[in-house]
Chain A
């Protein structure tokens, strides 16, 4: 096993634990926004797609890369916009009615 792989597993495990601890504190009230937010964040595969689409390594890479960029962008943009649309709606009661 090479050292680089070990390092990546290290990062994966730490991020997983940290993520779990952070997410555990999210109240059920916000579980749907949490889901769409992490969904948007998983569109980070866009980063890999950009390289595939833009590095001129043959038609196949470019075409598949282009499709990947498009769908990852749908994921990111759609995810963040709808999360914001939801969060905007959560309001506290302004005044106690009689």
Chain B
């Protein structure tokens, strides 16, 4: 009877997970959906705890309490700008759990007998699990800027990776024939850990959205393989959902950056070195001040704001919101245009703006808003670069060529807030900076925006006094 109860709890959990994800189709139902998913998780856990196999609970209780404490603290304390890091470190923990379950399962059966299909799933579980652990940790370290976010490359990188990859597969193949060889099993685990490191080290910060989505997918595959190993359907279903979501997001992100999907699948993302620099010298830009911008904005009828990673770095989402609100107060139409790869994970900008209380019906995707730029008076670009580079449209030798961009250059005036004249991640100079209708304002985005907000407020007060 207990078995039926357990299966029923897993069945209900699976349905609840799917309902939970379905509710994410709209911000209105999303929170309720997460409640379903949480309930599903609770059911699966309680069901499992009632299992006959489980005889002692001390370590389980301590583990759950410790994990809840750490997880709770992480979720509370991490700022929204650090969301990509949090997701990365969370992947690492999930993958660690899946890998350890694989190891335990292997150790349990190594003395008696491992048939080759159990070995197949254990191998997949441990390989995907281990490379997700280290891959996510490296992603975390890079995103947190504990080491440089730029691509780290060295000689013979591809060859070394290929050898390692084939080596790991060779070890896996050996295990399929001789499943009970502990040494080879742990060598394979080690190879997986190493692959994770080498896979993510060469990837630059701007490519992180794809990598995070891929790691998401791998973590799901590891969970699903765990389900195969311990013969558990809810693990397979939850793992498949996770893998599908990661795969889907990786696909969208690679499309938004105009990279081929095969590139992404094999993790071959990263900036091509050697293409940086040296184009910007001869041209001149004119520097403008916040006063100039304030004048321009006040006389506008419609404004589109384009936030980029620079806004996240400067933590400038709050002054952006304040500025937007002030402009709307003056009767100016304000909208936000958000490119899919702005930021370090899919949808990161949306979350940052939401944090600053920008209502989500003001946020638009490129497809929805690109036609409107030509009728817009001022476009305000905050720390974005590649996503507005017109070279993507026509310059065939540009690394950006073919990438869908926001048509900021079609607006009557373009204001670009930037720290310096440096090029974006793609290393491609941006002709928009030198255009006649472009105003470049250099400096920290937050400082500039704050002075803009002050100027607008003064003006409003002056008007009110009259």
Of the listed residues B101, B223, B325, B354, the one surrounded by the most CB atoms of chain A closer than 10 A to its CB is B101
CB pair A86–B56 under 8 Å, yes or no, is no
CB pair A91–B48 under 8 Å, yes or no, is no
Across-interface contacts of A76 in B (CB, < 8 A): 41, 67, 71
Q: Which residue of A lies closest to B355 (CB)?
A: A89
CB pair B101–A49 under 8 Å, yes or no, is yes
CB pair B248–A93 under 8 Å, yes or no, is no
CB pair B359–A30 under 8 Å, yes or no, is no
Interface string of B19-36 (1 = CB under 8 A from A): 011101111001100100
**Residues 11-64 (chain A) with a chain B CB within 8 angstroms:** 11-12, 15-20, 22-58, 60-62, 64
The answer to whether A20 and B230 touch (CB under 8 A), given A29-B360, A47-B45, is: no
- Measured in the bound complex, the distance between the Cα atoms of B293 and A50 in whole Å is 59
CB pair A50–B54 under 8 Å, yes or no, is yes
CB pair B57–A54 under 8 Å, yes or no, is yes
CB pair B223–A45 under 8 Å, yes or no, is yes
Q: Which residue of A lies closest to B74 (CB)?
A: A78
Across-interface contacts of B325 in A (CB, < 8 A): 97
CB pair B240–A19 under 8 Å, yes or no, is yes
CB pair B63–A44 under 8 Å, yes or no, is no
Residue in B70, B101, B357 whose CB lies within 8 Å of A52 = B101
Across-interface contacts of A87 in B (CB, < 8 A): 27, 30-31, 34
The answer to whether A54 and B71 touch (CB under 8 A), given A37-B20, A48-B101, is: no
CB pair A44–B239 under 8 Å, yes or no, is yes
Provide the main secondary structure of the chain A interface: helix
- Measured in the bound complex, the distance between the Cα atoms of B100 and A68 in whole Å is 6
In the complex, how many angstroms separate the beta carbon of A45 from the nearest chain B beta carbon?
4
The answer to whether A30 and B24 touch (CB under 8 A), given A49-B100, A87-B30, is: yes
CB pair B34–A83 under 8 Å, yes or no, is yes
In the complex, how many angstroms separate the beta carbon of B300 from the nearest chain A beta carbon?
15
The answer to whether A71 and B93 touch (CB under 8 A), given A30-B350, A45-B98, is: yes
**Of B84-92, B268-276, B430-438, B446-454, the one touching chain A:** B84-92
Instruction: Say yes or no: is B108 at the interface (Cβ < 8 Å to chain A).
Output: yes
CB pair A28–B338 under 8 Å, yes or no, is yes
- Measured in the bound complex, the distance between the Cα atoms of B22 and A24 in whole Å is 10
- Measured in the bound complex, the distance between the Cα atoms of B245 and A18 in whole Å is 11
Residue in B70, B86, B107 whose CB lies within 8 Å of A60 = B107
CB pair B236–A34 under 8 Å, yes or no, is no
Q: Which residue of A lies closest to B22 (CB)?
A: A22
CB pair A70–B66 under 8 Å, yes or no, is yes
Across-interface contacts of A4 in B (CB, < 8 A): 231
Interface string of A65-98 (1 = CB under 8 A from B): 1111111111111111111111111111110011
Across-interface contacts of A42 in B (CB, < 8 A): 91, 94, 216, 219-220, 223, 238-239, 242
CB pair B241–A41 under 8 Å, yes or no, is yes
CB pair A75–B244 under 8 Å, yes or no, is no
Interface string of B69-80 (1 = CB under 8 A from A): 011101110101
Interface string of B37-77 (1 = CB under 8 A from A): 11001001100110101111101101110111011101110
- Measured in the bound complex, the distance between the Cα atoms of B238 and A43 in whole Å is 9
Of the listed residues B25, B49, B213, the one surrounded by the most CB atoms of chain A closer than 10 A to its CB is B25
CB pair A39–B219 under 8 Å, yes or no, is yes
In the complex, how many angstroms separate the beta carbon of B214 from the nearest chain A beta carbon?
11
Across-interface contacts of A67 in B (CB, < 8 A): 63, 96, 100
CB pair A15–B241 under 8 Å, yes or no, is yes
Across-interface contacts of A97 in B (CB, < 8 A): 325, 328-329, 331
Q: Which residue of B lies closest to A63 (CB)?
A: B59
CB pair A78–B354 under 8 Å, yes or no, is no
Q: Knowing that A43-B41, A70-B66, A92-B359 are A-B contacts, what are 17 other residue pairs whose CB atoms are under 8 Å apart, sorted by A's residue number?
A: A4-B231, A8-B236, A12-B228, A19-B242, A24-B248, A32-B346, A32-B348, A37-B24, A39-B90, A51-B48, A54-B60, A67-B63, A69-B97, A75-B97, A84-B31, A89-B80, A89-B355
- Residue contacts A-B, CB under 8 angstroms, 18 given: A4-B231, A23-B21, A23-B248, A28-B340, A29-B347, A30-B25, A32-B351, A37-B34, A39-B219, A42-B223, A45-B235, A56-B56, A74-B70, A78-B93, A82-B83, A85-B75, A91-B357, A97-B325
